[in-house]
Chain A
Amino acid sequence: GAVVSQHPSWVICKSGTSVKIECRSLDFQATTMFWYRQFPKQSLMLMATSNEGSKATYEQGVEKDKFLINHASLTLSTLTVTSAHPEDSSFYICSVMGEHSSYNSPLHFGNGTRLTVT
């Protein structure tokens, strides 16, 4: 069954508005979640690491004020795209660690969110 639930699966918003994407770990508590971005026909790029109870760690080149991450509980992380612009249109995917929270547990990915900014 699904390990990670991501919502919404697709969203269309107007330029200048903000959009929130939720990522839930269904089977186990996840102290760490990861947010990826995938451009059309390209690979996944890690945006940030979301840590429960602390600030997210952003990858180089990712605007932390643009992409707000909140890891409010052990099962929920949210990514908010603030003041969205057409260039933010992309496929956003979250992932969580395996249930044993060890490096030998591969990541489980959500089904992604297709964001289109008009």
Chain B
Amino acid sequence: AQSVTQPDIHITVSEGASLELRCNYSYGATPYLFWYVQSPGQGLQLLLKYFSGDTLVQGIKGFEAEFKRSQSSFNLRKPSVHWSDAAEYFCAVATSGTYKYIFGTGTRLKVLA
């Protein structure tokens, strides 16, 4: 069965510092991978997605993620974090050919001024 693991429940970084949020998935074939961000009391906004092709994908708000098949990972990165990036981040995997998304448990990002 497919699964998504986000090992870090909470992460705190200083504004301007770099960020990496980890995501590991379990799926036999090539998955569809996503990162979403959720602000308190809000829905989810898509940051970026990977379906195929270039393993380094660029997203909105300066985020990028790299798909590493050998490590079953899809880590999210940002070179310089802004205070407005404080939110909850969810990694998700979808079985190719379906819309059933499986979400990780999320990583709550706190940004120190």
A interface with B by C-beta (< 8 Å): 4, 6, 9, 32, 34, 41-46, 49, 93, 95, 97, 103-104, 106-112, 114
Contacts and interface: CB of A to CB of B under 8 A. Distances in A.
B44 A109 contact: yes
Interface stretch (B22-30, B60-68, B69-77, B101-109): B101-109
B103 A43 contact: yes
Interface in B1-59: 32, 34, 36, 41-46, 49, 51
Nearest to B102: A46
Contacts, number: 52
Max count, chain A CB within 10 A of own CB: residue among B36, B94, B99, B104: B99
A16 to B, nearest CB: 26
Nearest to B97: A103
Interface of B: 32, 34, 36, 41-46, 49, 51, 90, 94, 96-101, 103-106
Given A34-B99, A103-B98, A107-B99, A43 B41 contact: no
A49 B111 CA distance: 36
Given A32-B99, A93-B43, A112-B42, A103 B104 contact: no
A114 B101 CA distance: 21
Contact of A106 (B42, B49, B100, B106): B49
B43 A107 contact: no
A44 B100 CA distance: 12
B46 A93 contact: no
Given A49-B99, A103-B96, 19 more contacts: A4-B43, A6-B43, A34-B99, A34-B101, A42-B106, A43-B90, A43-B104, A44-B101, A46-B100, A95-B44, A103-B32, A103-B97, A103-B98, A104-B51, A106-B46, A107-B46, A107-B99, A109-B36, A112-B41
